Structure 1
């Protein structure tokens, strides 16, 4: 049942989805719903573009026939189902994981500059994955576990170092920058101690790349995102309340400590699986929540996830076809995200001035 609320919501644009028995209700904004619908349409268009573009061109009719099980030939079926579709879906899933994690960190810390790569979470995941792959010779699945352990360890270290001041303020950002530098130094040391071929492969992965991603790479990211989605839906209202501050949240009946730990663990898990799948792709987690917030004029994990998915898929298409030779997608996100980061710092400086 859908009910438009005019007297008790923050704005007349709010919608409430309510159980007929009154056991649960979910508030949303019609603007957010329209933005999410538009982002879904954009993603579908980008997926079609990803399937069509390349040296071996594919027509929309061939795509439809292939999905119906009547591929014109084996070559077309291979490029659509075996190569381009899994890469596009991996880009969507990894982008969504990073963006949602970034939105969670920004809400928890009440800091617009907070993101997993700036706070060092991605760096910790990189250290864990690189140690497993290059030092212990582990597989990709084992590297995913290493990334999870590294990300959780780095998050625990950040919480310990900011225990007195809390997860907000300039100290948090400076702590994250320092830990990111230390993690980068550890990764560089490991790379200098292995064979050149292994170091080159790992270095490409560390920039962030979707090259060669298959259906097997998609499964862990989709599984983690499927587990995280209902938890985030459950805690979304509490997270928005916590942006008012812990005192206000507690006064409104939110268990701030428990909510913070749950959201921090979920966000760390999302970062870990994203890094393990495609490497530490930078700035998606920083940029996407800001874009979603500007589009919706409100906080929304769903809008942030869809924005991150579209952003990474666009970046991957640019990385594949905008240059003379394909480049890792991380190069594109670093270029775009770096400019956005500088603009964000400039805007924050003007606001404080």
Structure 2
């Protein structure tokens, strides 16, 4: 009788909180593992499909050091660098968007909406069409443009601190101005040059190889751990400046560090593949819907972005026989309807952000 009564005894507050934390950790781990498996499946499909279809077993045997010479060439030289680049670009964009949206508490605050990607695009087009820069120099110019645009937006939004809504509005304005510069340069250039620039502006992984991948790997190896380390201050900042300061956070320093990491992530991703639209915008909301109540969900957002760009690149390569589309066209087909839905929903509930 006593054992039965003990089993039915209500939980204490501490026990209930511990059980809730265990459930949250279990759900978080399950979602991250599932997303990781989706990323690995996307990588496998990307390596198996193409003009020469390869069995899954042959692909993984090649990745593990086996396989014949022909399979090694197709997998290791032609397909693997592009597939890895797609996943890493998506990871950087997804994490960047999650940082911006969580920090500024605004679903519109992603680097491709508030002008960071536009800064990279304007710098790259200027360097390519006017100065004739190409290759790694073009990628470095795009990264510099993203960082300069981010710094300019931050300084323009500064009024004894940075308000999230003001930064978003200024970012949209700066982005529009930079886009007009790109349009002007495109209209003044030769047709062949403009066509090449347009492909890059759409966000393209076509023709990418190992030399395009290694700079992004190096940058990501620094920025990804740094962003996760700096994000430890994010929960306090999400409570508001006054509360964060009361909890001991150095609000402006911590906010600037997070914005710098998010801007750099978007910049290196844009430098590697062009301004792939809407990945940063969509990844974080998808991750938060998978993990309601888990705050910023940075790691799931990064994995979601990787899976999204990987899947979009598969569609871009094989949707139209004989034609490889820029991956940014496919991601825009996904992201544009979401943006319209978000704006319509905000209007219905009477919210501007």
| Fold conserved between structures, TM > 0.5 | yes
Distance in 2 (alpha carbons) for counterparts of 1:117 and 1:11 = 40
Shift of 1:10: 6.6
Distance 2:276 2:63 in 1: 30
Give yes or no for the alignment of 1:206 onto 2:201: yes
After TM superposition, list the pairs within 5 Å mapping 1:251-270 onto structure 2.
251-270=246-265
Distance, in Å, in 2 between the alignment partners of 1:50 and 1:153 is 35
Contact 1:108 1:167 in 2 (8 A): no
Provide the alpha-carbon RMSD of the alignment.
Answer: 2.1
Partner of 2:297: 300
Give the corresponding residue for 1:188: 183
Partners of 2:78 and 2:14 in 1: CA distance: 52
More moved, 193-202 vs 248-257 = 193-202
**For residue 31 of structure 2, what is the aligned residue in structure 1?**
35
Query: Of 160, 163, 168, which aligns to 2:164?
Result: 168
Deviation per residue, 1:252-279 (Å, 9 max, x gap): 1111111111111111111111111100
Deviates more, 1:227-236 or 1:101-110: 227-236
- Report the counterpart of residue 25 of structure 1 in structure 2: none
Residue of structure 2 in register with 1:224 after alignment? 219
Higher CA-based Rg: 2
Matched ranges for 1:202-351 at <5 A? 202-297=197-292, 298=294, 299-324=296-321, 325-351=323-349
Among 343, 349, 352, the alignment partner of 2:350 is: 352
Deviation per residue, 1:183-234 (Å, 9 max, x gap)? 1111122223333222211110100111011111111222222112222222
Structure 2 counterpart of 1:19: none
Gaps of 5+ in 1: 1-5, 16-27
Q: 1:283 to 1:69 in 2, by over 3 A?
A: same
Supply the distance in 2 between the matched residues of 1:258 and 1:9 (Cα, whole angstroms).
36
2:51 paired with 1:51 = no
**Structure 2, unpaired ranges of 5+:** 1-12
Give, in angstroms, the shift of residue 102 of structure 1: 0.6
How high is the TM-score relative to the length of structure 1?
0.89
**TM-score between both structures, scaled by the size of structure 2:** 0.89
Higher RCO, Cα 8 Å, sep 6+? 2
Superposed CA deviations along residues 83-116 of structure 1, whole A, max 9, x for unmatched, are: 1111110010000111111111112211111110
User: In structure 2, what is the Cα distance between the partners aligned to 1:29 and 1:186?
Assistant: 47
Residue in 1 that maps onto 2:110 = 115
User: Which residue matches 1:61?
Assistant: 57
Give me the whole-angstrom Cα distance separating, in 2, the residues matched to 1:229 and 1:279: 19
How many correspondences in the alignment?
335
Q: Please give the per-residue CA displacement for 1:66-98, whole angstroms capped at 9, x wherever unaligned.
A: 224332342x22221111111110010000111
Partner deviation per Cα, 1:88-146 (whole Å, 9 max, x = no partner): 10010000111111111112211111110110000001111222222222232222221
